[in-house]
Structure 1
Amino acid sequence: MENQEYSVGLDIGTTKIVAIVGRRNEHGKIEIMGAGKAKSLGVHKGIVNNISQTINSIKSAVAEAQNSSGVTIEKVTVGIAGKHIRSLQHSDYIMREHPDQYISEEDIETLKNQVKKLVMLPGEEIIHVLPQEYKVDSEGEIQEPIGMHGKRLEANFHVVVGQMGSIRNIARCVREAGLEMEALTLEPLASSEAVLTKEEKEAGVAIVDIGGGTTDIAIFKDNIIRHTCVIPYGGGIITDDIKEGCSIIEKHAEQLKVKFGSAVPDLEKDSTFVTIPGLHGREDKEISLKTLAQVINARVEEILEMVNTELKAYGAHEQKKKLIAGIVLAGGGSNLNNLRQLANYTTGFDSRIGFANEYVANDKNHHLRGPEYATSIGLLMESLKIRDKKPLSLNEETEEKITENISDNPNQEISSEILEAMKIEEAIEKRRSKLTFGQNLMEKVKKFFDETE
């Protein structure tokens, strides 16, 4: 099987590392070919803090994915998150030299490159520039300015900033695991690709991805990304609270949270207990499910209050910015019982759990559509998009015809078939000059490694 036939998403999370192999079927849906999962031992709050352990975990997940899919994995699209990620809004403009000519993609790129020159804090770098609305001369609220005429081209941008050191660490881990990093994608954007619908993005929606170490938020309105942020708390800190509050080991705390945990104590009975086996002959310990829910509730409420603060900062309660589609909960933390009800109460927005049902055609294991795999599926979808954008190549026969036609008949008109082939080649060259965000970022990372080696 050739590499072009499939793509791979690699989610380097705080609690687990997941590699998913898939391809697009004839109906445009994602067909999952295989998946691998390994415990993440070298990542804390979305940031790599142990290179060798992270490399080993990546190798384990990829090896399992290769065995289950029957293909060799060489390229992967990787997610990036962590508490170092932040976003800001910025407006900028350019004055066009030839206003009589229509606005082109080159003008848009010139404006974007101007934004990329913004001065950031030491160690930070702009990793994503997302245009929102444009303004041409006195005309505002333009979604697509290409083809219009005007002297002044202005736009509002959503700018995502992160620590370049964290990006380099991820790139090194992937490279030393024997893989090529095809692109880097912001994890909340990847999750949104997997679980949000176009209607929700149009109406206004916030995806809240509760992972092991962080909670990632992305807000959409009118099909435009409006706000992104990372809260440095996730399911891991809830497990720590249970461990401390109930005086048990971490393994038992995680099992309690997954099997019996609830975000709303009032829905649990006082008379219901669960028994935890004692360590090395010690007596067993009985824990009330109501007490367990109270410990969980305190931390989950804190996380949801932080989410609410971000929603208010965006202006989600204002009439023009209102999130009509409410909130979509994703990530492993969203599996917590009664979390949706608590989110409704805390934020005042209706919420649902995000599953990748709409985009995944098959799932042999019947669990990869779950909210905990939203980021992995989204990264796979991003990888497939990049593959779809790759330029088509002219076949050898057509290239031969072009060469023969031009060399043997230099003074004759070129046939329509050859002209068409030349047009395709021209289109290919144009496509080659345009890189996605992830590919642009990878160019920077590769340049850094080339300079240091």
Structure 2
Amino acid sequence: MENNKISVGLDIGTTKIVAMIGRKNEYNKLEILGIGKAKSLGVKRGVVSNITQTIQSIQQAVEEAESVSGHKIEEVVVGIAGQHIRSLHHSDYITRENSDEVIDEADIDNLVNQVHKLVMLPGEEIIHVLPQEFKVDSQGEIKEPVGMYGGRLEANFHVVVGQVSSIRNIGRCVKSAGLDLFKITLEPLASAAAVLSQEEKEAGVALIDIGGGTTDLAIFKDGIIRHTAVIPFGGNVITEDIKEGCSIIEKQAELLKIKFGSAWPGENKETEIVSIPGLRGREPKEITLKNLSKIIHARVQEIIEHVYLEIKNYGHETAKGKLIGGIVLTGGGAQLKHLRQLVEYITGMDARIGYPNEHLAGDSDDALSSPAYATAVGLLMEGLEKGTKQQQEEDALKAAEEALAEEENELADTDQKEVEKQVSEEPSKPRGKSFFDKFTERFKDFLDNAE
């Protein structure tokens, strides 16, 4: 099966909008064909607040990605975050009509569709329905019920809910930028796909994605997503505090944070001073790095404590819910110096910085494996994943049609020969296998190979 499907991830963030074009190479790794970036002006805390500006930024990012890659972008996978996202747990079941047949994907789809019909609060809609464990008849803790016998299929679900208006606004921006919306995905799930290993998800891990406007959290345990949350502040509030605390303009505050910022105040000596040019003819300002890191420390501590509260609410302190894999930090905010040490100090959990390079092809540009691109890489992976499934189904259908055509030709040939032979009265022996059997076998073989 030739797999040259190209997909596009569009990360609409508070500070930047990233469009990433890529495909899978022969080793099943991501080959990034092009990337486009634009400053995001119309998004506040992960939610679109200015439609026109957001459309312009999306177009700018997409055009840049198109010119780098030479591919035209038509449909995109978009990430959604923002303070309106909440998650809830729900159990549901279906009673199967025929318990003599094994459970298949269609039964699971029926169950998931049933959950999609849940009545939400006014103005909310369901973004994701993620099955956790299944229960067949009365046997619990089943991860994969396909192929089992049973009359009643039951499951616990992690349901992610967002505001209808915010989701529609994102859809509107994407459409107005001349693109088709292929799928909307929760950003922490995309980032998790890009930076977490399967072992970490099994052992239990909390992914903290510190973006410009929001900090996203996704908790996995036993390989299953257990909890998601979006906390409505990120790197921008740190910049805001530096701006207020040092009386400087935002651009300078951002530069200070990136160049000299540290989350650990003990690092800097009183004597380390940065001089910042004053505005138009005013005296330059002198700022001690100790003060700078005190401001950053206070804010970062607040963000981490918020996240840690969510981790405790999930049940990290219980024996069953313990996250052995600790914490993985990603997103642009994860590049802050000494952040990892501060996180370990506050939470008492192991931490590492998550780089999205595990899934990238070996010859990828190093810049792409920056934590700031984790969400974009994850969205791209999501698009390719969906694509391969569709591709398999299409290929299966195509193969079936070809097999049919071939069989018909064979049949026509055989009939021709039969006529020519003018066989005597004795009844002809049945041919080895009926055409239909052969066709089904071929189709099965093909499906097995497509897996």
TM-score (norm 1): 0.88
Q: Secondary structure at the match of 1:92?
A: strand
Change (3 A) 1:185 1:402: farther
In structure 1, runs of 5+ residues without a counterpart are 432-453
Hey, what's the Cα distance between the residues in 1 that align with 2:361 and 2:106? 38
Does residue 401 in structure 1 map to residue 406 in structure 2? yes
CA distance in 2, matches of 1:315, 1:142: 21
Shift of the 402–4 alpha-carbon distance from structure 1 to 2, 3 Å rule, reads farther
* Post-superposition offset of 1:30: 1.0
Q: After superposition, what is the alpha-carbon deviation per residue over 1:199-242, rounded to whole angstroms, capped at 9, x for unaligned?
A: 10010001000000000100000100000110000001111111
Aligned to 1:248: 248
Deviation of 1:426 (Å): 9.4
325-334 vs 20-29, greater mean Cα deviation: 20-29
Q: Does 1:22 align with 2:22?
A: yes
Aligned to 1:154: 154
CA distance, structure 1, for counterparts of residue 346 and residue 298 of structure 2 = 12
Q: Partners in 2 of 1:365 and 1:283 — Cα distance?
A: 42
Q: Deviations over 1:420-451 (max 9, x none)?
A: 56558999xxx9xxxxxxxxxxxxxxxxxxxx
Partner of 1:436: none
1:402 CA drift (Å): 5.2
Structure 2 residue runs of 5 or longer lacking an equivalent are 416-429
- The 3-state SS of whatever aligns with 1:157 is strand
In 2: Cα distance, 1:79 partner to 1:405 partner: 51
Q: Give the CA deviation at 1:165.
A: 1.4
Per-residue deviation, 1:362: 4.2
Q: Tell me the residue number matched to 2:420.
A: none
**Structure 1 residue 399: Cα displacement:** 6.1
**Aligned residue number for residue 426 of structure 2:** none
SS of 1:323's equivalent? Answer: coil
1:142 aligned onto 2:142: yes
- Cα contact 1:32–1:362 (8 A) shared by 2: no
Shift of 1:147: 2.2
For residues 288-309 of structure 1, the C-alpha deviation after alignment (integer angstroms, 9 at most, x for no partner) is 1110111111111111011011
Partner of 1:34: 34
Give the Å deviation of 1:403.
5.6
Closer/same/farther in 2, CA of residues 426 and 294 from structure 1, 3 Å limit: closer
Conservation of the 8 A alpha-carbon contact between 1:401 and 1:418: no
Instruction: Please state whether the residue corresponding to 1:392 is helix, strand or coil.
Output: helix
* C-alpha distance after superposition, 1:21-47 (max 9, x if no partner): 111111111111111110001111111
Contact 2:48–2:166, Cα closer than 8 Å, also in 1: yes
Report the Cα distance in structure 1 between the residues aligned to 2:308 and 2:135, rounded to whole angstroms: 31
| 1-structure distance, mates of 2:142, 2:439 | 39
**1:246 CA displacement:** 0.6
- Residue in 1 that maps onto 2:65: 65
Give CA-to-partner distance per residue, 1:309-357, whole Å, 9 cap, x none: 1001100121111110100000000101111011111112110000012
**Alpha-carbon shift at residue 197 of structure 1 (Å):** 0.3
What does residue 268 of structure 1 align with?
Answer: 268
Shift of 1:404: 4.6
Structure 1, 141-150 or 89-98: larger mean CA deviation = 89-98
Letter in 1 for 2:317: H
Structure 1: distance between partners of 2:3 and 2:325: 38
Q: Which amino acid aligns with 2:435?
A: I
- The alpha-carbon deviation at position 408 of structure 1 amounts to 8.2
**Which residues of 2 match residues 281-296 of structure 1 at below 5 A?**
281-296=281-296
Distance in 2, Cα, partners of 1:345 & 1:109: 44
Displacement, 1:111? 2.2
Show CA shifts across 1:384-423 (max 9, x none): 1112112334278656435656788899942776445655
**Aligned in 2, Cα 1:52/1:405: closer, same or farther, shift over 3 Å?**
farther
Which is worse superposed, 299-308 or 149-158? 149-158
Deviates more, 1:95-104 or 1:168-177: 95-104
Cα distance between partner residues in 2 of 1:324 and 1:126? 30
CA distance in 1, matches of 2:348, 2:284: 41
Distance in 1 separating the partners of 2:128 and 2:204: 21
Aligned residues of 1:363 and 1:369 also touching (Cα < 8 A):
no
Query: Match of 2:211?
Result: 211
Alignment match, 1:194: 194
Q: Aligned partners of 2:58 and 2:52: how far apart in 1?
A: 10
**CA contact 2:43–2:49 (8 Å) conserved in 1:** yes
Distance of aligned partners of 1:3 and 1:179 in 2 relative to their CA distance in 1, 3 Å threshold: farther
Aligned-partner Cα distance in 2 for 1:362–1:425:
31
Tell me which amino acid in the other structure corresponds to 1:187.
E
Structure-2 residue corresponding to 1:78: 78
Residue in structure 1 matched with residue 169 of structure 2 by the alignment: 169
Please give the secondary structure, in 2, of the residue aligned with 1:329: strand
CA distance in 1, matches of 2:77, 2:361: 20
Contact conserved, 2:207 with 2:218, CA < 8 A, in 1? yes
* Structure 2 letter corresponding to 1:145: P
Change in 2 beyond 3 A, CA 1:364/1:201: closer
- CA shift, 1:266, in A, is 1.3
Is the partner of 2:369 in helix, strand or coil?
Answer: coil
Distance in structure 2 (CA, Å) of the matches to 1:100 and 1:222: 31
* Corresponding residue of 1:442: none
1:392 maps to 2:394: yes
Instruction: Name the counterpart of 2:435.
Output: 414
| Alpha-carbon distance between aligned partners in 1 of 2:215 and 2:29, rounded to the nearest angstrom | 28
What is the deviation of 1:164?
1.6
Identical columns (%): 61
Q: Which amino acid aligns with 2:177?
A: A
What is the CA-CA distance between 1:184 and the residue it aligns to? 1.2
Alignment of 1:89-108 (within 5 A): 89-108=89-108
In 1: Cα distance, 2:184 partner to 2:366 partner: 27
TM-score (norm 2): 0.89
Mapped contact 2:79–2:186 kept (Cα < 8 A)? yes
Secondary structure (helix, strand or coil) at the match of 1:368 reads helix
Cα displacement (A) at 1:169: 1.1
In 1, the alpha carbon distance for the partners of 2:149 and 2:435 equals 35
Tell me the secondary structure at the aligned position of residue 367 of structure 1. Answer: helix
1:231 lines up with 2:236 in the alignment: no
The corresponding residue for 2:184 is 184
Q: Contact 1:135–1:141 (CA<8 Å) still a contact in 2?
A: yes
Letter in 2 for 1:61: A
Residue 277 of structure 1: aligned partner: 277
Report the 3-state secondary structure (helix = DSSP H, G, I; strand = E; otherwise coil) of the residue aligned with 1:281: coil
Change (3 A) 1:345 1:159: same
- Pick which of 175-184 and 78-87 moved more: 175-184
